[in-house]
Chains A and B, each alone.
Chain A
Amino acid sequence: MALAYSLPSNLAPSTVQNTASFLRIIALAFISGAAIASRLFAVINFESVIHEFDPWFNYRATKVLASQGFYEFWNWFDPTAWYPLGRVVGGTIYPGLMATSGVIYNILHALNLPVDIRNVCVLLAPGFSALTAWATYMFTKELKDESAGLLAAAFIGIVPGYISRSVAGSYDNEAIAIFLLMFTFYSWIKALKTGSAFFGTIAALFYFYMVAAWGGYAFITNMIPLHALVLILMGRFSSRLYVAYSSWYAIGTLASMQVPFVGFQPVRTSEHMAALGVFGLLQIVSFAYLVKAHVSSKQFQTLLFVSVVTIGILGTLGIVGLTYKGYIAPWTGRFYSLWDTGYAKKYIPIIASVSEHQPTAWPSFFMDLQFLVFLFPVGVVLCFRELRDEHVFVIIYALVGTYFAGVMVRLMLTLTPCVCVAAAVALSTLLDTYIDPRMPDTTDTPAPDTDRVSVAGATTSEGTPKKTKKDKTPAAEVTQKASINDFATGFEVLGSILEKDKPPRVAGLDSRIVVVGVALYLLVFFVQHCTWVTSYAYSSPSVVLASRNQDGSQHIIDDFREAYYWLRQNTREDAVVMSWWDYGYQISGMADRPTLVDNNTWNNTHIATVGKAMSSTEEVAYPILRKHDVEYVLIIFGGLMGYSGDDINKFLWMVRIAQGVWPDEIQEPNYFTPAGEYRVDAQASQTMKDCLMYKMSYYRFSNLFGGSTPVDRVRNQHLPTTGPTLDYLEEAFTSENWLVRIYQVKKEDSLGRDLKSANAFVEGKKRKRAKPPVRRKAIVASS
């Protein structure tokens, strides 16, 4: 056989194998290092600080766990959150993340390494990203081979789509959840392949860990049943499937019910019914197979088939009936919003108001995945080539994941591993083909599959011909059509790859060098892109902002922490702070003050109350503030600095949420100009100008401009030179760049007047003569 280039022939196969596995370990170690290192931009550019919003709560909870132990954490009732309702923290969180950090913290301390709990929290996500790379390697290895696994590990290690949620300091559930997701899927695939109850149990245990760690566990809860269902429909029911699914479902469900936040949901909510239904279906199908094996009568088999279908339909009807009766909770709003992207905006504005719940914009696919976007479909198509059970899994995952990623920005995260795996399969197949030194045979005898040796010395796919034999027929039919021979050489090869019977061979060295060179160029460019995106887009803690000075040096804007520490130092310990819910976790984490609402948006009415206070006049808002014992109101104002994520820009959501609860008092159209514009300048509607949020934002703003027209730099509008006045609140603190403004709620007037006239009195304004009170009721003659 002709070779394109010579291979050393004096190496023993065992040497090749040992070297290869050694190199694999080295490569994995480097991949882990790269995954961790690229996530440290945030620490180097800024400091070791907890990022954003939710992580602040996780961090606070972890501190409680580390200092008071697990049982205190379990029973933790936080009286400072959702004042005065309080929050049963132990029963309303996924404790997996905190427990993980707590365990790491305790282990380190047991080893006499006095690491600060904050650093454990900050560095947890990078650490787990290394584990994710390993889990992805294992998963892809099951799918194709080790070299594809290494590629997938490298991809997942540095792909921005995953980094965006796992940089150092981004201490959120997703930090560990993606590892758990991948490892659960790996165990499931493994269990399915081997029919091993052991791996099924491993999958169940990691599923439990996942349930304890992230609300996105529902993805696994539905992915695995969907896979099982598709396999049954494809006629691939086997005892392996039965064992793997039953052990996973039974143990996993029981274990997941031990998490207090989940409780009885697995048997009582629609989200979990698919898993239960497939479990029941599997029992019926396996029973049918059992009976079928023992009974030969054709009529009886038909009867059996009919009865199985009837039982299945009855079961489904039963579930539907129970849902109607209310025993099973119907789908939640969050679920509906996955199918109808306009649903949330219409019915649950609180979900739609979160920016990460918005539909994904096209550029962000490229930003997050770069050239993997193009390799991804190729990888999926390649999965059809072999179409073993695990390939079916990847295909389903790809379909479902792509849809969800298109619907919601944050679900890009769940798609990313699948993209990495599929892209790695595609790229690795390409490299296999082009690096394989064998030239196409002139004679047309097909070489046996196992002869193919990749350059790393790895043998090709584990799937033995025996197992896959019976699956080939449908797969070949599908893929036959896909092969189009009219394309240029590269595609021609890809096309021929799809035809299994004809192993692809490439002639000559030049085309090999060109294709491999281009692939390498893409890979290098991918690394460049990832590094750039990570360092510029995804490493900002958002607690600390950075801007560039005119000479290009970095200027740190630290208004948030300035304001939160002001609260911490200057207010009473039990002074309630009202703000929009975005800042709740940060206030409780950094300022340590009670808040009305926070990022755990469990009580829509309470949030609407805050929205109403913000969008009403002072007179209406004041009783609400007093009733909730609010002493300070904190708002974010970006008009001076040009920070677009400020409260005025979020204000319409406050109005919408408040309108949802008080449609008579708050109406969104009132906040627009007659022309339907959202303005803050002189043309703004009167309702807008009178509302508390507007007044607090622009209070004394015009003083900054010394008589000239004030300009709001976010909305690029000119404000009136005389700003609004406040009677019921007084300014307590404004940060350096006016980003955070804190107002103090005045006490009731000691003479029982309303504060507006009390203020007018202090300023020396004459009040109108009051009319004597009418003591007699007018007698209305009734006719």
Chain B
Amino acid sequence: MLSLYLILAAFVGLLQAKSSTGDSILVILDNKLNRSDYSLFFDGLEGQGYSLTFRAPGDTTPAIKEHDTPNFDHVIVFAPHTKSFSPDVTPQSLVSSLGKGTNLLLALSQKQNLVNSLASEFSLILPPPQTPLVSHFPAREEPATVIPITPQPNVIVDPDLPPIWFSGIPVAPGNNPLLFPILRAPAESFASDATVDSGADSVLEAADRGGEGLWAGSSSSLITGFQTRNGARATWVGGVELFSDDFAKKHTLGGKKSGNAQLSKDVAAWTFQENLVLRIDSVSHHKLGGSETPEVYTTNDQIVYIAHISKYDPATSSWVPYSGISDLQLEFTMLDPHVRTSLSPVPDTPGEYSVTFRAPDRHGVFKFVIDYRRKGWSTLQSSTTVPVVPPRHDGYPRFLSAAWPYYTGAISTSIGFLLFSLLWLAGGEDKAKTKKE
């Protein structure tokens, strides 16, 4: 009976896999798109425990944010055909709610619209309008714009994900380190006019103006993740069809079921902060041999630094200690890092990372800095300020062996003076007399 409950609980837990930042989602869905065409994706989200609120791009309620506070934890914008949005949906409002921690899942359009114009703020460079991704390989019945892709595995994409169907536009990711391509275009694909290849003139022209940079080949990205400095996530998808039921049910050329359903679930899970979410629970530091955190350190002290890190587990909706980071580093910085050392996990304590190092022989205001950035993973940042002071006046060795010549000198002079005085006092009588005479 108990085991049944456990299984049930586990099942419910699995079902309730939820985001670490909240479960309300606003979906801005194009008027031309039917919810039912994306039922697998949306129902999957609802099944996970998210509460979805649908809204047409022209509607004014429910607003993305009110009184400068976001109303929803996540926003999905699937509006590739919409020209005009209601006044509360602007690039500025989307970016500012992103700044307040709202995650965004955005589908790009083949036409110029609001979402596309926002992309340049994220260092994404879009091809000219009406130039979707085209690939003539492999030979297939489908039009050239509907492309089967075998994904390259990475932290989000599962290694044994079946090939997926894609239709939409590629983007050229800029030099922004916050960008992170999740799905790259196939090597033989390129952006071009959809129906007749002759329209590719505009692409060539754009390429000429750009100097180099055809939206072609595997350098262009189809699904692009973006993690802002405050930890919010935004995902740009080249075409909304990726999430559609059609593509999800469509079989790949090999005859297997496509990986679209799985990929869209994974992408949503990453975007909505279910996966790859880390946080630093606490940091502490003390002298080796002590346990109290001192207000100041003395130069050359042995310092122990401990950080506790946990990872969000969507299955149980809880944070669990995480010891899986092997390349974490700690810097002891004053303007420049004076010490940079690896902060390695403590073997028997999950989630604890610790290092012992010698404070530099330099006084000043130092910072313990952790700055861990890996593609896809949430950024770990921590900075603790602590002064390192020179030894106290009685903290220096009292006698130096190197100073013995001076000690000897002082002592011998003192003794000599004493002897001289004694001799002078004892034997001075005669001299005084002779002087008088």
Contacts and interface: CB of A to CB of B under 8 A. Distances in A.
Interface in A743-780: 748-753, 761-762, 764, 767, 769-776
Nearest to A79: B387
A775 B219 contact: yes
B125 A86 contact: no
Contacts of A90: 393
A773 B363 contact: no
B393 A74 contact: yes
Interface stretch (B34-42, B47-55, B72-80, B171-179): B171-179
Contacts of B367: 84
Given A77-B387, A88-B390, A752-B176, A770 B365 contact: no
Contacts of A71: 393
Contacts of A627: 335
A594 B212 CA distance: 49
A594 B367 CA distance: 15
Contact of B120 (A74, A86, A769, A775): A769
Interface in A453-489: none
Nearest to B363: A86
A88 B363 contact: yes
A749 B178 CA distance: 12
Interface in A505-531: none
A331 B207 CA distance: 66
Contacts of B177: 752
Interface in B84-100: 91-92, 95, 98-99
B212 A776 contact: yes
Interface string B384-405: 0101011011000000000000
A103 interface: no
Contact of B387 (A86, A753, A771): A86
A126 B390 CA distance: 37
Contacts of A19: none
A83 interface: yes
Given A751-B178, A770-B174, A772-B172, A77 B125 contact: no
Contacts of B121: 751, 753, 761, 767
B125 A83 contact: no
A761 B95 contact: yes
A41 to B, nearest CB: 41
B211 interface: yes
Contact of B92 (A86, A748, A764, A767): A764
A774 B211 contact: yes
A45 interface: no
Nearest to A758: B121
A716 interface: no
Contacts of A450: none
A750 B385 contact: no
Given A751-B178, A752-B123, A761-B91, A84 B228 contact: no
Interface in A316-345: none
Contact of B228 (A74, A751, A770): A751
Contact of B213 (A77, A749, A772): A772
A574 interface: yes
Chain A at the B interface: mostly helix, strand, loop or mixed?
A: loop
A772 B210 contact: yes
A747 to B, nearest CB: 8
B280 interface: no
Nearest to B395: A75
B94 to A, nearest CB: 11
B363 A750 contact: no
Contacts of B296: 77, 79
A528 to B, nearest CB: 52
B334 interface: yes
Interface string A67-98: 00001001101010001111010110000000
A523 B387 CA distance: 58
Contact of A773 (B172, B334, B385): B172
Contacts of B232: 750
A628 interface: yes
The winner among B177, B229, B366 for most chain A CB atoms within 10 A is B229
Contacts of A751: 95, 98, 121-123, 176, 178, 226, 228-229
Contacts of B226: 751
Interface in A235-275: none
A750 B393 contact: no
B102 to A, nearest CB: 12
B98 A750 contact: yes
Interface in B187-231: 207, 209-213, 215, 219, 226, 228-230
Interface string B325-358: 0000000001100000000000000000000000
A353 B331 CA distance: 38
Nearest to B118: A761
B367 to A, nearest CB: 8
A750 B98 CA distance: 9
B229 A752 contact: yes
B364 interface: yes
A766 to B, nearest CB: 8
Interface string A129-154: 00000000000000000000000000
Given A771-B211, A772-B125, A85 B120 contact: no
B92 A761 contact: yes
Contacts of B366: 84
B175 A750 contact: no
Nearest to B122: A751
A84 B212 contact: no
Nearest to B386: A79
Contacts of B175: 773
Contacts of B390: 77, 88, 91
Contacts of B125: 770-773
B81 to A, nearest CB: 23
B364 A773 contact: no
Given A75-B393, A86-B387, A773-B175, A750 B99 contact: yes
B174 A86 contact: no
Contact of B209 (A91, A574, A764, A771): A771
B400 to A, nearest CB: 15
B365 A86 contact: yes
The winner among A594, A753, A771 for most chain B CB atoms within 10 A is A771
Contacts of A776: 212
A218 to B, nearest CB: 25
A770 B117 CA distance: 11
Given A750-B230, A751-B122, A773 B98 contact: no
Interface in A606-645: 627-628
B122 A85 contact: no
A769 B119 CA distance: 11
A767 B120 contact: yes
Contacts of B335: 84, 627-628
A90 B389 CA distance: 12
A774 B213 contact: yes
Nearest to B334: A84
Contacts of A84: 334-335, 364-367
Interface string B102-123: 0000000000000000001111
B359 to A, nearest CB: 13
Contacts of B365: 79, 83-86, 594
A67 to B, nearest CB: 16
Given A751-B121, A774-B211, 11 more contacts: A79-B365, A79-B387, A88-B389, A751-B178, A751-B229, A753-B121, A773-B174, A773-B213, A774-B213, A775-B212, A775-B213
9 contacts: A75-B393, A88-B363, A91-B390, A594-B365, A752-B178, A764-B92, A770-B174, A772-B207, A775-B219
